[in-house]
Structure 1
């Protein structure tokens, strides 16, 4: 029975990983399917928008170690149904308030949305990223305060990965933060227009002494912390170059692998007559510079764009961070140049697939509407707006293409 349960869980997990979209990611430590984690990305146009919500399913046995293995939720795919609960009006999901239509209910609904939006940003985004980056609310690096016993434990288990914290979504959250940074700022601006800093959260009728969300709005503070996170992330990316040179000098496996991949991709460009140019910055295999030539007969025709690919010495566990150094007005490129693209999950270590995915996102002629790719709010709104909006989008894109050649 235990083997059948493990087989079922393994199959469901494999299917989820293959078919997971931009709203859901799942992971377990190596082959240990008894402890599975999932990350849900809050839906667009809800107070949970682009928040990072982690859930897990811990297995147990009914009676003893010989009993059948159980895991909750009963079916891992139920995680996806949690997204439906993250609605634009979460007040109506609360027990007893399915038919809230009184004027007071309307007021409570608005106040509840304001409260959830604030706390989604504060807890699921800002606090999570600060913990990942080991910085405090003031942006300063938080020094570790391990006791002697904790230090001894670390030394004794340094080679035992199973004893290390299992944080499978750390890199994903960092990269998604860069995608959604401008949307977070927009949410903060909206919050500032609706409430004042220092204003207390309104208490909802269904909140009791053991179930309450108390606090005060402080969007100015959230904005400051958000900008500190962005600054720290950019600094972390820049630090990879120096770490990479050290790794190159030591001829680490990652350094040798990246050097080999670079040479192979350059050769593949030559064989396929791809006009793009690829070079290493100062001979560093951890910093690649790609010169992208716009596709003929499209709005990108004639464009010349410089793209930087930065690699971590811990690649592929930490995925590359890519940025357009040449400004481009495009609905799949954030204002700071971060492209929104998805590389195949089973080829994360293949740099060529990342390059191809970026170019595909740029050149896709008829992309499906997907708010999870909203990385440039202004461009996204124009692209998916009225016919006149789309014409304005095309004009601005063409203008950025022309400026790329100046």
Structure 2
């Protein structure tokens, strides 16, 4: 596997080893001891090497309901001596080796055009100020990843189209998965954002009408395809050392030169850009590797749904359409290849399952040798089993699979007066050898129609607050499953079929509860030994 031994320090305001200038940009999470700081509410994360606190690696998970949905976009922020008077320099590392421009404001070179970074013109009040920090920068970049990134391009609202293009566009928008509500139309749809009179005038235009281009519908589909291919698949295949032997989904020919560097541009997985050689132990610095793997299992159903929705409308082999703002090699080129993407997603999923099984094997051997992690997990198991056996709260049972402290089974019962009443819920926790630096993978063995449980991987989406505490994991797991009135959380849309009902209208919510109760009944009737 890829070497990921680089030390990452928690970015905490109270860390006395952290320089004053860095404390101002850190996100403080007092309960976290994980070695990277996750701004989980915003689907952001930051980390740095122990020997270089001025260079911060940043992760943005693509927002839901956008073509960037649940993609993994890495950035590198450098904080100079003039910080916080001057902003950090920020570069995108997710560029397919300098060959993919993911946004009008995010170049293939890695350059990020943003007014607060001083790399893009802005109105008064939009420039950098000392009150801002890494969080505000990442939120600003995340805002570029909108439902229609094409609108980031200046002059977007003045695009004119022919009647033929308008008809083709309407058909395409009506079928692809990124649709807009009526309230959003004026913002993200240049055609329907016009008045009715203007629409009629536009529709009557002749085919020879001069225009800047009308490419946003194509662009959305292309961004989604490359988000799946580059930010998710390529990244996981690299971490798991899976070769894409057929190269069917290569967006650009491997001989295509990358975009020219500008300033201190860097490219994805290019250790020389960071001043390292291939033999350097920090050459491959992947601070978010474990996070990627767990999120992949969360969002697997959403990824496949995107592929199924698009592949029904777009023929594999269809070439990407260029846009007016792309030039030279600063573009997104390639062809749609959804069949291959689906095969590769399955291959990554199988590799992650195999990795999880290897933890059990390695863990059992470590327990026999009385390794520290094994003994710690075994001690926590004994303590928690005694705690829950004496507790007056809900009945909770814990057991080890084959006496292995790295594989736990959690069993609890659905509370009365809830849709889960009567259910015996079994949950499996696989702990990695590097716990708590790496987190457990949690799957729900009881088949439930639940918005927090992936229908394919059975991975549970939950958010512990004390990553080192198994008890906190257990209580967070139970809370995520039994909570009756959860708040909407775009990070937790792991089961598309259940989520669209759970967060839909009243009829949808009633149908969701009915399906959940039915799954509970089916589980009771087909109770298996887990």
1:60-71 alignment to 2 at 5 Å? Answer: 60-61=80-81, 71=88
Bigger RCO (CA 8 Å, 6+ sep)? 2
Aligned residues: 379
Shift of 1:72: 3.3
Distance change (3 Å), C-alpha of 1:22 and 1:192? same
Aligned counterpart in structure 2 of residue 331 of structure 1, from 447, 451, 474: 451
Contact 1:61 1:70 in 2 (8 A): no
Shift of 1:4: 12
Structure-2 separation of matches of 1:404 and 1:304: 8
Contact 2:236 2:292 in 1 (8 A): yes
Contact 1:171 1:319 in 2 (8 A): yes
Find the residue that maps to 2:158 and give its secondary structure: coil
The reply to whether residue 399 of structure 1 matches residue 518 of structure 2 is yes
Output the TM-score relative to the length of structure 2. Answer: 0.67
| Alignment partner, residue 61 of structure 2 | 41
CA RMSD, aligned part only? 2.4
Structure-1 separation of matches of 2:39 and 2:353: 31
The reply to whether residue 254 of structure 1 matches residue 376 of structure 2 is no
Output the TM-score relative to the length of structure 1. Answer: 0.87
| Alignment partner, residue 15 of structure 1 | 28
| Alignment partner, residue 298 of structure 1 | 418
Aligned counterpart in structure 2 of residue 129 of structure 1, from 236, 243, 253: 236
Structure-2 separation of matches of 1:359 and 1:270: 16
Contact 2:501 2:508 in 1 (8 A): yes
Shift of 1:29: 2.4
| Alignment partner, residue 100 of structure 1 | 159
Contact 1:132 1:170 in 2 (8 A): yes
| Alignment partner, residue 384 of structure 1 | 503
Aligned counterpart in structure 2 of residue 90 of structure 1, from 126, 140, 149: 149
Q: Looking at secondary structure, tell me which structure has more helix per residue.
A: 1
Structure 2 unmatched ranges of 5 or more: 1-15, 30-36, 91-116, 118-132, 170-213, 247-276, 526-530
Distance change (3 Å), C-alpha of 1:118 and 1:298? same
Q: Which moved more, 1:362-371 or 1:255-264?
A: 362-371
Distance change (3 Å), C-alpha of 1:18 and 1:117? closer
Deviations 1:19-44 (A, max 9, x none): 54251111122484212111101111
1:299-314 alignment to 2 at 5 Å? Answer: 299-314=419-434
| Alignment partner, residue 353 of structure 1 | 472
Contact 1:308 1:324 in 2 (8 A): yes
Q: Which moved more, 1:361-370 or 1:7-16?
A: 7-16
Contact 2:229 2:341 in 1 (8 A): yes
Structure-1 separation of matches of 2:403 and 2:329: 60
| Alignment partner, residue 144 of structure 1 | none
Shift of 1:123: 0.3
The reply to whether residue 205 of structure 1 matches residue 320 of structure 2 is no
Q: Which moved more, 1:365-374 or 1:184-193?
A: 365-374
| Alignment partner, residue 29 of structure 1 | 49
Find the residue that maps to 2:398 and give its secondary structure: strand
